[in-house]
Amino acid sequence: MNRRSFLSSAAAVAAGLSAPLVGRSAFAKETVTVGGPLSLSGVFANVGTPVDMGNRMAVEFFNRSLPVQLQYLSLDDQSDPGKGVRKVQEAIQQSGVKYFSGTSNSASAMAVAKEVYGAGGVYVNQAGADSVTGADCNRSTFRWPAATYGAIEQSVRPLIDLHPKARRWYTITGQYVFGEALLANTKRVLAEKQCEHVGNVSHSLSEKEFSGYIANAMAAQPDVLCILNFGNQTMDVIRAAVNFGMKRNVIIIAPWSTGLDQFQALGPDVVEGLYFGIQYWHDLQTPGNRRLLEAYAQQYKDRPNHSFATAFACTQVIAEGIAKAGTADCAQVIKALEGLQYEGICGTETVRAGDHQILKDCYLARGKAKSAMKDAYDFADILSGGQSFLPVEQTGCTFPA
């Protein structure tokens, strides 16, 4: 082989080897990682596990229509906000993650939000604490569920209208910021509707035994027992109230309920006739929810619960922002999200620019009799729904100029 033919052959080989790379780079999408800071172990694992599943499915689902390739990274905080923050810091510094979706509890969400803001990322979560889009708001954070104001407006107010003769209300409240916010909003609505708040008893975050608190409630002889806490404590109070026979002559409402998973844990005999304020229901007849149910049915046999669906909704917000911005640049995505309207699982949802609160419907549901259930998941009927949000100037949220 002479020099000329050697060089020609070498050039041909090099061209052949580089052709796939050239071809690939022309069509390759940017890979964007969405981190899920949630609890896959510890006391909040019962929330974190379905949130993780919802994030994962949403990433697979929305990948089809985005200009980037989404991938998902679970960040197990082991039910410890401090560990969650460290995992997020590592993800940001070592893996360049800028997008985060979901949470298992408000304390973790608020800690993570500060870190993501410091890194100029985007964080969408389903925390319940009002301050997430209130005093502790920041430009990086978006919150999907309605705050306590909306939850109470769309549950307590319509219940009063439904039962105008039930004027005496007794509340059992969790003694933490979230519970106090629920109580303040409930008292405001009761006062406006000229109902009598006959008493309140507060309990600690660690309380498990509620028979004594129910005794206090029964002694006040209310028309309505209003349960202002969340999670397992809501279920513990409901069980105690039903066991003590309060359903006979008292209307019972839990304005902050996670719906299906709680109904399954309580059972239809307990749930029947009770009222619940919920942020999502698997039977909602919206295009966004039908889309979720179709995707869910391809992987699972049951129905999506609150934690799963809200995680899907949070990741959808990220996807919608990237789709509108046409890029994964965080600053541009944040700008694209502000004021954006899209078809979410609860119908048309809007990202409010002033505090990054997603404006969406909340619902009042009533538990059905077991004999009336169409299937194993048909625990409740939606009685009413709507959107209620404080004006931005009243939330306490101020974005720096």
Site string for other proteins, 158-197 (x = CB under 8 A): -----------------x----------------------
Residue closest to 70 by CA, chosen among 37, 39, 99: 99
Count, residues in the chain:
401
- Hey, CA dihedral for 323, 326, 328, 334, is it positive or negative? negative
365, containing H or E segment: strand 362-367
* Binding status of residue 78 toward other proteins by CB under 8 A: no
Chain positions 31 to 50 lying near other proteins, rule: CB under 8 A, are 43, 45-46, 49-50
232 binds other proteins (CB under 8 A): yes
> Per CB under 8 A, does 329 bind other proteins?
no
Which has the closest alpha carbon to 32: 122, 141, 142?
122
Kind and range of the H or E run holding 363: strand 362-367
Q: For residues 150 and 283, what is the distance between their CA atoms, to the nearest angstrom?
A: 21
Q: Exactly one of 60, 180, 207, 378 binds other proteins (CB under 8 A); which one?
A: 207
Q: Does 219 bind other proteins (CB under 8 A)?
A: yes
213 binds other proteins (CB under 8 A): yes
Q: Min. distance of Cβ 202 from other proteins in angstroms?
A: 5
What are 143's two structure tokens? 């919150």
Crossing angle for the helix pair 45-62 and 306-325, to the nearest 10 degrees: 40
Q: Between residues 218 and 382, which has the closer beta carbon with respect to other proteins?
A: 218
Pairing of strands 347-351, 358-359: antiparallel
Would you count residue 218 as binding other proteins (CB under 8 A)? yes
Count of residues of this chain found to bind other proteins when the rule CB under 8 A is applied: 35
Q: Stretches 66-74, 106-114, 160-168, 236-244: which one binds other proteins (CB under 8 A)?
A: 236-244
Q: Which of 243, 299, 341, 398 binds other proteins (CB under 8 A)?
A: 243
139: which 2 tokens?
Answer: 């430009």
- Residue closer to other proteins (CB basis): 69 or 175: 175
Taking the CA atoms of residue 287, residue 70, residue 136 and residue 394 in that order, the dihedral angle to the nearest 10 degrees is: -30
What is the number of alpha carbons within 13 Å of residue 60 lying toward its C-beta? 10
Contact pick of 9, 93, 211, 299 for other proteins (by CB under 8 A): 211
Of the CA atoms within 13 Å of residue 305, those in its CB half-sphere come to: 21
Site for other proteins contains 244 (CB under 8 A): yes
Q: Does 212 bind other proteins (CB under 8 A)?
A: yes
Binding site for other proteins (CB under 8 A): 43, 45-46, 49-50, 175, 201-204, 206-209, 211-213, 215-216, 218-219, 232, 235-236, 239, 243-245, 261, 264-267, 269-270
